[in-house]
Amino acid sequence: MKKNPKIISVEVSILDLPTIRPHKLSMATMMNQTMVITRITSEDGITGWGESTTIGGMTYGPESPEGMKLTIDQYIAPLLIGQESCNVNALMHKIEKNVKGNTFAKAGIETALLDAQGKRLGVTVSELLGGSINNKLGVLWTLASGNTDKDIEEAKHLISIKRHDTFKLKIGSNEPKKDVAHVVAIKKALGEDIRITVDINQAWDEYTAKTWIKVLQDNGIDLIEQPIIKTNFDGLARLTEYFHVPVMADEAVATPEDAMKLAKIRGGSVFAVKIMKTGGLYNAKKVAAIAEASDIGLYGGTMLEGTIGSVASAHAFSTFNNLSWGTELFGPLLLTDDIVTNPMTFRDCKLELPTKPGLGLEIDEDKFKFYKRK
């Protein structure tokens, strides 16, 4: 084996896959998911795969799929071609110095570099990150059909086949009164043993949040995710202090720097970590370290990535000491098809970490071509 093989190509493709049903969030209704997939090949013939995925075009995050492809093609790939592929820290440092922001694009690149390096060394990505603490991660499901009865039916089915025992409800697109009645009806129908969380995706102002979180808390809802605008750090701290029900920061806590600022004022009693927000797996571990050092709970979040991004996230989250709120890495289950030949295993309300080198995935080249945007 050549000691330090150089990177010879960085190929970026945009893929569109349909969702199994409309997925209704406060800012968009998804009928399909668009994934930006990067394939990095080195002169030793080893290929690493990475995914950069957002939700709802540009309604959720600041990067669009088309913009991510352009950023990688135009600005990141030239920094990588001809470089020695094994030192992921040095490569990401170089990218960081030359390309500001664009954490989603960077997450896909770091994933591909780690996948390749894991394959090269014959170890999994979680082993590259120091080793997993949990090989099975709790995984919830998001009920977001937009209809209360349909959501209840969907949840009851998933409970009966032991796929999930925790559900997240996406609210914020209707009047709070209507949204909260929807949540309470689902909580009542599913019973006390089923954990229900709500994600408002920043849709309420602080006063509205104070009024309606009280009702959610009184009705036994387990967790309130990002009720107010992400920039209102102090408001998040006030709500965290005021309520007994845990308040989770999602959009507010993107980078390690955000985590540090929020931890100082206790803006959230739980942090949702996502490799897209942090710009990769190593930074996700930094956010987790800040949370752990501050006695803030951890939750493994998703941007509804397909299997590549979800498995990359799972490898990172598996290394956290205390993933007290589990994960929401169900993205691939929301899609009608997959571009890998060995999809993730979901069993007994948990997902199982792949054990093969790198991410542990085999790409189905035919499906890849089929879903690739022409």
- Active site positions, annotated: 170
Which one of residues 71, 201, 278, 283 is an interface residue with ligand MUC (CB under 6 A)?
A: 201
Q: Is residue 126 at the binding interface for ligand MUC, with CB under 6 A as the rule? A: no
* Nearest Cα to Cα of residue 107 among 312, 287, 280: 280
Q: Is residue 328 at the binding interface for ligand MUC, with CB under 6 A as the rule? A: yes
* Cα dihedral value 86, 89, 91, 94, nearest 10: -160
Residues 191, 373: Cα–Cα separation, whole Å: 44
Q: Work out how close the CB of 272 gets to Mg ion at its nearest, in angstroms, rounded to a whole number.
A: 6
Which one of residues 139, 249, 304, 359 is an interface residue with ligand MUC (CB under 6 A)?
A: 304
Q: Is residue 33 at the binding interface for ligand MUC, with CB under 6 A as the rule? A: no
Which one of residues 63, 250, 258, 305 is an interface residue with ligand MUC (CB under 6 A)?
A: 250
Query: Of Mg ion, ligand MUC, none, which one does residue 302 interact with (CB within 5 to 8 Å by kind)?
Result: ligand MUC
Closest to ligand MUC by CB, 112 vs 329, is: 329
* Nearest Cα to Cα of residue 369 among 13, 10, 68: 13
Which one of residues 85, 134, 142, 318 is an interface residue with ligand MUC (CB under 6 A)?
A: 142
Identify the DSSP state of 344: P
Closest to ligand MUC by CB, 88 vs 144, is: 144
Which one of residues 110, 151, 199, 258 is an interface residue with ligand MUC (CB under 6 A)?
A: 199
Identify the DSSP state of 334: G
Candidates 35-43, 94-102, 151-159, 297-305: pick the segment binding ligand MUC (CB under 6 A). Answer: 297-305
Phi, psi of 227 (to 5 degrees): -70, -30
Q: Is residue 148 at the binding interface for ligand MUC, with CB under 6 A as the rule? A: no
Residues 189, 134: Cα–Cα separation, whole Å: 32
Q: Work out how close the CB of 186 gets to Mg ion at its nearest, in angstroms, rounded to a whole number.
A: 18
Query: Of ligand MUC, Mg ion, none, which one does residue 328 interact with (CB within 5 to 8 Å by kind)?
Result: ligand MUC
**Which residues in 73-92 contact ligand MUC (CB under 6 A)?**
none
* Nearest Cα to Cα of residue 60 among 312, 305, 306: 305
HEC readout, 19-86: EEEEEECCCCEEEEEEEEEEEEEECCCCEEEEEEECCCCCCCCCCCHHHHHHHHHHHHHHHHCCCECC
Query: Of ligand MUC, Mg ion, none, which one does residue 116 interact with (CB within 5 to 8 Å by kind)?
Result: none
Query: Of ligand MUC, Mg ion, none, which one does residue 310 interact with (CB within 5 to 8 Å by kind)?
Result: none
Q: Is residue 302 at the binding interface for ligand MUC, with CB under 6 A as the rule? A: yes
Query: Of Mg ion, ligand MUC, none, which one does residue 142 interact with (CB within 5 to 8 Å by kind)?
Result: ligand MUC
Q: Is residue 314 at the binding interface for ligand MUC, with CB under 6 A as the rule? A: no
Residue number of the CB closest to ligand MUC reads 142
Residues 175, 187: Cα–Cα separation, whole Å: 19
Q: Note the residues at the interface with Mg ion (CB under 5 A).
A: 199, 225, 250
Query: Of ligand MUC, Mg ion, none, which one does residue 329 interact with (CB within 5 to 8 Å by kind)?
Result: none
Phi, psi of 230 (to 5 degrees): -60, -25
What are the tokens at 158?
A: 């998933």
Q: Work out how close the CB of 311 gets to ligand MUC at its nearest, in angstroms, rounded to a whole number.
A: 16
Q: Which ranges of the chain does DSSP label H, i.e. alpha helix?
A: 65-71, 77-80, 88-98, 103-121, 125-128, 148-160, 176-190, 206-218, 233-242, 256-265, 275-278, 281-293, 307-317, 365-371
Amino acid at 77: A
Measure the N-to-C terminal CA separation of the chain; round to a whole number of Å.
37
Q: Which residues bind ligand MUC (CB under 6 A)?
A: 25, 55, 142, 144, 170, 199, 201, 250, 301-302, 304, 328
